[in-house]
Structure 1
Amino acid sequence: MSMRWWYGRVMALAGVIVMAIGLTSGVAAASEHHTGQLPDGATWVADVPAAWNGTTILYSHGFGPLAAQNAPNEETRQALLGSGYALVGSSYSGPSWWALASAVHDQFGALAALERLTGPPRRTIAWGTSMGGLVSALEAEDGGRRLDGVLSTCGLVAGGLNLNNYQLDGEYALAHLLAPAQNVKLVRFANPDEGSASAAALTKITTDAQATPAGRARIALAAALMNGPGWFTGATPPAPADYAGQEIQQQQELAQLVLGFVVAGRYQIELAAGGNSASTAGVDYRALLTGSSHARQVRALYRTAGLDLDADLAALTRDADIRPDPQAVRTLARTSMVTGRLRVPTLNIHTTADQLVPVEQEDWYGGRVHRAGAGPLLRQAYVGATGHCAFRPSESIAALHALESRITTGRWGRVAEPDRLNQAAEGLGGGGRYVRFDPPRLTGGLGEPGRP
């Protein structure tokens, strides 16, 4: 199955919940629609409502085909236009779907192109989704006088190096512990088909292993290394001590969504980086698990299966031999990692159970920002839901209004607290599910236990 097929699958399984929030059918017709092309080949698209409120939203789309977008989905786009916001976004210019080397430049190029038509806005807010959330986080450090604030939604804010490393840790555990004789290729894919073949192999391995207690224990270990939540479907998560129920959810997310998308997607990141940036060599897998919020679950399932967890962790550490390409590491460090040095107010929102961009990324990012001395500029808020970017439009727009309040008043106050965000979402007609939440540490992240 191709990467494009998996992209469509992700959009179907992890799409935004469609909700009506007081929209009228004539919004788009009352807007001026603009398109164009930047010198590097990126395209851009913009919509300016007739009753423009003076605020432009610079929207950064997520990982996928390079097509210009100016909103996360049609429902949110219509709501924003109906409230008077101008919208603009670019396609990015590549060379692959992991377009971080060009994205910030292309986004500001699209903004400048629109401003040549409309004149300067009263206020500009960057808004990004998923990989685009990382683009927006980078814009928060580079935007300076061009931006007034940043809203990062389900953002990949821990960056490309961390993403590649912890995903590889989990993939390596599945391959090495469940099917060592298959020699599944995990990095340095020569073409998209190699990535898709490895994704299919790991998906089958994970599906077959679910039939035995030993397989289920090792799936839970791999999921823990990948920061995989124990909630994939259903209105509520399994109980905190329902370790078997959590593992069922983890196996489903791995087999139905995560492996097919992220393993095949590695080809796109390697293409952009010029090689493999991830490593297993030198990793202490015992330390990685010890630092995981899922460690208790994994230990319990290993006891049930009668397996020696220490032996498996020792084998993973002993046999790990994947080393990175230094140039690829340097490329992603330069293009795809934040410094934490924010220059404008920034609000991040995340679901508490995100299968593709784990909420643990917010803990790593928050630490980075605070160590850089920019903590007062940042707020992070959490929607108690499962799914990647599974926000109601009312929840996203409530966050936008909270950021606007911070920009206007110069202080956060309580505008980004769960009760205030839910109240604002309710006022928009869609309700809110914001909760008080402290994200766990990012297992396998740079600077975290076990990672050299």
Structure 2
Amino acid sequence: MSPRVRIRTLAVAAATGAALSIGLVAPPAMADAGADYSGSLANGTTWLASVPSDWNGTVLLYSHGYRPSFVPGNPASVAPNDDTKALLLERGYALVGSSYASSGWAVPTAVDDQLQSLDAMLDQTGLEPEHILAYGTSMGGLVTGRLAESAGDVIEGAMPTCGLMEGAVDLNNYQLDGSHAIAQLLAGQDLQIEGYATLNEAFATSAALSAAVQAGQQTAEGRARVALAAALFHLSDGVLEAEATKDPAVRQESLYTQLLGTIGFVTPGRFDIESTAGGNATWNLGVDYGKLFAQSEDRGLVAELYREAGLDLKADLATLTQTADIAADPGSVETLRASSGLTGDLQMPVVTLHTLDDVLAPVQVEQEYAEDVRGAHDASLLRQFFVDHVGHCNFTAAEIAAGIEVLQQRVETGHWSGSSATVMNRLAASLDDSGSAFVATQPGEFLGDREGRR
């Protein structure tokens, strides 16, 4: 990176310098000791930065995850948690991140907000980076993926973690499939599972879906259908590979618990996405749920539970197909794809990290992302790593740092170093004692790719 980096943002106002409002009175100067900085942009975005005294020449631009619009507070973040922040500063990285202009589904403005905040941070600190890398978590992983496709003149490498790498439309579609199964097979009625005019409508649907799942869990037939809905939600049994059990009842109970928690989060979250898109951008009209479910990794467990309950799985899947009548608003789909989609056309090396059991960003989205990158003929720029943890974005500080070190080396040398799970665990152990659980695996098929199934 050439000295005195200047950021070419997407907003004309930022290019003229009119969008910046510095939050500290200290004049721009090279940081000569460990220090924290902050500021704000004209659109309401706030940013924070931390620079260690022994800075290694690299700036990490962090993109935080989704914060519901209906939950107070939207602070800027420079790392996913304090442990990771401390380790990255110890490794010599300068850290910067923003709040985005608003909470909620902020992806449409987040790339611009991040680049402008980076520019403001460099102005205020006087830093002249050798390298700038981007990383992010969850929705911020999607933001980082968009940076990887649009900001190659500023950023040299990107690391989405637990990212929504399927893009917003496919995110909505796979969640619609799970909700459709609950509404038709457990609630027995046409619930409003999309097209919310108000947040209260979304919360009402969330309550109705949850009640149907709880009632279903009381019978063998209901438990089988709960497992089917959970499978369409891409939920796993929540058991580490090393502790895996073959007991279908134990696995089903885990799916039930995860399903309840997932419904309560994603249903009102859909309201935020629809508000950004201007309407409903999801559909299941024309979906063949028999063919769809045939590609599920949980089909064996669900089939066993159906046999034990004396239910006809094919009949239930046919019911889902026959009642699939939700059509999307084309303009909303176009808006959401343009503002929150990925093409796989990379402008820089990309490392991804994902846990095997993630209830909100299922590991199968990495299959979809890799497919997109291969389609853009950029597979040589992508490396994907997986850790055997349960939970959304449940990484140790050592795992995050190991991924960044691999990305940094790729940027500096122009080629990838050894990247086996064994090598990654060894690298993580050399960086911190927080532990690591990298494993070699290939994620299964992502079920929400409507276009890919035509």
Q: After TM superposition, is the score higher than 0.5?
A: yes
Which position in structure 1 is the counterpart of 2:40? 37
**For residue 225 of structure 1, what is the aligned residue in structure 2?**
232
Amino acid at match of 2:37: H
How big is the shift at 1:47? Answer: 1.4
Q: Measure, in 2, the Cα distance between the counterparts of 1:254 and 1:157.
A: 21
**Equivalent in the alignment of 1:250:** 255
After superposition, residues 8-407 of structure 1 pair within 5 angstroms as 31-64=34-67, 66-94=74-102, 97-117=104-124, 118-181=126-189, 183-231=190-238, 236-239=242-245, 241-255=246-260, 257-407=261-411
Checking the alignment, whether the CA contact within 8 Å between 1:395 and 1:425 is kept in structure 2 is yes
Aligned residue pair count: 416
8 Å contact from structure 1 (residues 419, 434) kept in 2: yes
CA contact (8 A) 1:238 1:246 kept: no
Which of these residues, 421, 427, 434, is aligned with residue 424 of structure 1? 427
Q: Which has the higher contact order (CA 8 A, sep 6+)?
A: 1
Distance (whole Å) between structure 1 residues aligned to residue 452 and residue 234 of structure 2: 13
CA distance in 2, matches of 1:42, 1:237: 44
Measure, in 1, the Cα distance between the counterparts of 2:40 and 2:275: 24
Paired amino acid for 1:84:
G
- Specify the SS of the correspondent of 1:270: helix
Q: Which residue of 1 aligns with 2:438?
A: 434
Cα RMSD over matched residues?
Answer: 1.6
Secondary structure of the structure 1 residue equivalent to 2:271: helix
Distance change in 2, residues 1:387/1:218 (3 Å): same
Deviations 1:225-279 (A, max 9, x none): 11111116x795533x433322211100011x20100011111111111111111
In the alignment, structure 1 segments of 5+ residues that lack a partner are: 1-28
Contact 2:241–2:388 at 8 Å: present in 1 too? no
Q: 1:5 maps to which residue?
A: none
Identity over the aligned pairs, expressed in percent? 42
Quote the Cα distance in structure 1 between the aligned partners of 2:450 and 2:34: 45
Aligned mates of 2:440, 2:360 — CA distance in 1: 21
TM-score, structure 2 normalization: 0.89
Distance 2:268 2:426 in 1: 41
1:231–1:237: 8 Å Cα contact kept in structure 2?
no
1:332 deviation in Å?
1.1
Amino acid at match of 2:231: A
- Tell me what 1:13 maps to: none
- Alpha-carbon offset, residue 119 of structure 1: 3.5
User: Any conservation in 1 of the 2:138–2:361 contact (CA below 8 Å)?
Assistant: yes
Question: Partner letter of residue 341 of structure 2?
Answer: M
The structural deviation recorded for 1:296 is: 1.6
Return the offset for 1:437: 0.8
How many angstroms does 1:333 deviate by? 0.7
Instruction: Tell me how far 1:209 sits from its aligned partner.
Output: 0.8
Query: Quick one: which amino acid aligns to residue 126 of structure 1?
Result: A
Counterpart contact for 1:230–1:237, Cα < 8 Å:
no
Q: Distance in 1 between matches of 2:288 and 2:75?
A: 40
Deviation (angstroms), 1:444: 2.5
Structure 2 CA distance for partners of 1:329 and 1:177, relative to 1, 3 Å: same
Task: Find the residue that maps to 2:303 and give its secondary structure.
Answer: helix
CA distance in 1 between partners of 2:199 and 2:91 (Å): 42
Amino acid in structure 2 at the alignment position of 1:72: P
User: What is the rounded CA distance, in whole Å, between the counterparts of 1:270 and 1:388 in structure 2?
Assistant: 23
**Letter of the 2:46 counterpart:** T
CA offset digits 1:56-78 (Å, max 9, x no partner): 00000000053211111111112
SS of residue in 1 equivalent to 2:153 = helix
- Distance of 2:89 and 2:166 partners within structure 1: 31
Give distance in 2, aligned partners of 1:58 and 1:322: 39
- My pick for the range that moved more, 48-57 or 147-156, is 48-57
| Deviation at residue 314 of structure 1 after TM alignment | 1.1
What is the identity, as a one-letter code, of the residue corresponding to 1:113? A
Q: Hey, what does 1:24 align to over in structure 2?
A: none
3-state SS of paired residue (1:150): strand
Q: Which moved more, 1:416-425 or 1:130-139?
A: 416-425
1:136-168 Cα distance to aligned partner (Å, 9 max, x none): 011001111201111111111111011100001
Q: 1:323 to 1:259 in 2, by over 3 A?
A: same
Deviation at 1:448, TM superposition (A): 4.2
Partner of 2:311, secondary structure, is coil
